[in-house]
Amino acid sequence: MKPEETGGNGVQASRDFFKYNSVVSESASPSLGTHFDESDEPTSESEAKLAGIVSELTDLMQRGQPIDIHSVCAMHPEYASDLMFLWGTVLVTDAVGGAEAKLIEESATKSDSVQWQMSLPCTIGDYELNEVVGRGGMGIVYRATQISLNREVAIKMILRDRLASTLERQRFFAEARATAKLEHVGIVPVFDVGELDGRPFFAMKFIKGRTLSDLMANEVVTQRQAATFLEQICRAVHFAHQAGIVHRDIKPSNILIDELGSAKLTDFGLAKQSDAVETLTRTGVVLGTPTYMSPEQASGRMGPIGPASDIYSLGTVLYHVLTGRPPHVAQSPVDLLLKILEQDPPLPRTIDPKVDRDLEMIVVRCLQKPSDLRYSTAEALGDDLRAFLSDEPISARSGQFVQVIARWFRETHHAQILENWGLLWMWHSLVLVIACVLTEALLFLQGDKPDRWAYILLWIVGLGAWAAVFWALRRRMGPVTFVERQIAHVWGASMIGIGALFPIEWWLELPPLTLTPLIAIITGMVFLIKAGILSGVFYVQAFCLFASSFFMLAFPKFAHIIFGIVAGSCFFLPGLKYYRQSLLQPVGIDSHGRVKYLQ
């Protein structure tokens, strides 16, 4: 594949962008600079390594080779958060750069296209073109009359006329082939495909009506109307999925509402066919309209994109119709992609309290970031919308609890940084157990006259020294990521809290170690925060630590032994898991978007 056909200009733009940010971050812009720990390693060396990785990725993308950014992050965990941030920028600048190059080229060759700037009406072949009714990213649509059959049709022609590249012509005909395979009442049918004087075209049924976006802009669409339109589109999308075609660009402007109020799906320009022999799009390229695309599309990973991506897009359209705004709104395309990847949209009822609760639950299920938590098929989504219209129970309500639980206990993409901490957590669990055993030994030896300073030396000075060693060991492993610094601050705050218990006991004239159960509470709070940032599995550790505080109250003579066993296990078990994972080689992404490892 030629470089110009794989977005070479956009790749160059992404490189220029990265170089620009590297310079600016040293002087004026704190945004990129905050992704590096200046105290860990010289900034220039750290940025040079990261720049090398990004440069290799852009070279691979330019050559049309698959890019799996999550596997790359797994192989370079010290740069994981920085790579995720920069790769989103690269993908967007690739798209923007390619678009700008296209505009320049079209401007330079404008004189060659004048012959197609014909006055309407005019006749070309068997078709009389009457008026322009729409323009898309790749084609222009005319209302026309097929002379031989005396029927009104819509003619779509490629925008760039004879100057279209081979890839663009392939995509254009791929859209025609994809649509021609689908005979469904909810899909605009294709009548004819060919070329007119070397200009690719295909003829479709002309739909008298307007797009859903036009309808929303000019009048209020009721909730029942929205559910009706989307239910009809869901049936059409399910039919396409059964034929092995994923639309990948479902949005209000691609949904036509005819004069009878029926919704029809059009514009399969980005459709992905499961049986296609040739790939017309590249892994690592953002495909679709960002406002309505799924997280897997926003990340640029082609592998996991399937029917679930269309279901997500259907949910975004329903969200927009119900609330009057898309799920995610941002100041720039980069911010928008990052929001799609990182953030959950506001619940529809927080924007418009009049939104029906059942419709809100349907939308929320569609917009789950893990694809396996969405509706299994577009037909299932359509069935729920039909149930809403019939005032019957919806399946999204019955499955809500299971979805919430599954979502809570999933890892976030930040969990990969725990591979840096696995072995250290195992050592930390041993240190905690030793500290607790020594505390119990001191209690036994000192009897009824415990020395408060002995415990202060052990828990404040001793554990403080271990924290310094722990951090030094982590820094020797490589640059510390932004998320790791956040976790380190939480851990440091917990140690300060535990150390503060001793002066509080002294101030309140309490015997030493009276407030020991609070140590379990403070440590449990740390794991509760880790559960939100890293992995929902840490909710289990948080619960165990909170519960252990009551056992420490009930059995004060064994309080530190109880804490040592529980806290040590909470650190050792995940430490062992992620240490083993760090020794494995990432080989790709599974169907749910999780990293797979070579066993």
Q: What is residue 121's DSSP assignment?
A: S
Quote the pLDDT of residue 408.
76
Comparing 174-178, 289-293, 311-315, 560-564, the range with the smallest average pLDDT is: 174-178
Summarised one tens digit per residue, pLDDT across range 281-319 is: 443 344 446 788 888 877 765 445 788 999 999 999 999
The label of the residue with tokens 């790579």 reads 83
Task: State whether residue 231 is helix, strand or coil.
Answer: helix
How would DSSP label each residue in 347-367?
Answer: PHHHH-TTS-HHHHHHHHHHT
- Provide the pLDDT confidence category of residue 101 given band limits of 50, 70 and 90: very low
pLDDT at 590: 46
pLDDT of residue 30: 36
Q: How confident is the model at residue 337 (pLDDT cuts 50, 70, 90)?
A: confident
Phi-psi region of 197 (alpha: psi -120 to 50; beta: other; left: phi over 0): left
Q: Are strands 263-265 and 255-258 parallel, antiparallel or unpaired?
A: antiparallel
Q: Where are the alpha helices (DSSP H) in 156-210?
A: 166-180
Contact in structure between 552 and 517 (CB atoms under 8 Å): yes
Greater pLDDT, 480 or 38:
480
Whether the per-residue pLDDT at 588 is higher than 50: the answer is no
pLDDT of residue 475: 87
Of 363 and 401, the structure prediction assigns the larger pLDDT to 363
Q: How high is the pLDDT of residue 286?
A: 42
Q: What is the mean pLDDT of residues 343-357?
A: 92
Q: Which residue from 271, 339, 289 is spatially nearest to 88, judged by alpha carbons?
A: 339
Please list the residues that pair with 190 across neighbouring strands: 204
pLDDT score, position 400:
59
Question: According to the model, what pLDDT value does residue 507 have?
Answer: 94
The whole-number pLDDT of residue 228 equals 95
* CATH topology classification for 114-205: Phosphorylase Kinase; domain 1 (3.30.200)
pLDDT (average), residues 35-51: 52
Each domain of the chain, given as residue ranges in start order, spans: 3-108, 114-205, 209-408, 413-598
Please tell me the distance from the alpha carbon of residue 377 to that of residue 395, in angstroms, as a whole number.
Answer: 13
Instruction: Return the number of other C-beta atoms located less than 10 Å from residue 528's C-beta.
Output: 17
What is the per-residue DSSP string for 463-478? HHHHHHHHHHHHHHTS
131/194 Cα distance (integer angstroms):
20
Identify which has the larger pLDDT, 196 or 443: 443
What span, in angstroms and rounded, lies between the C-alpha atoms of 378 and 237?
6
- The rounded distance, in Å, linking the Cα atoms of 432 and 566 is 10
Is 90 exceeded by the pLDDT of residue 331?
no
Confidence of residue 215 (pLDDT cuts 50, 70, 90): very high
CATH topology of domain 209-408: Transferase(Phosphotransferase); domain 1 (1.10.510)
pLDDT of residue 582: 82
Structure tokens that stand for 223 in this block: 């909730």
Instruction: Report, as an integer, the average pLDDT of 420-437.
Output: 94
pLDDT of 41 higher than 60: no
The pLDDT of residue 66: 55
CA distance 181 to 177: 6
The mean pLDDT value of the chain amounts to 77
Q: Do the domains spanning 114-205 and 209-408 agree at the CATH topology level?
A: no
The residue among 20 and 572 whose pLDDT is bigger is 572
Residue pair 73/40 in contact by the 8 Å Cβ criterion: no
Comparison of pLDDT for 234 and 57, the residue scoring more:
234
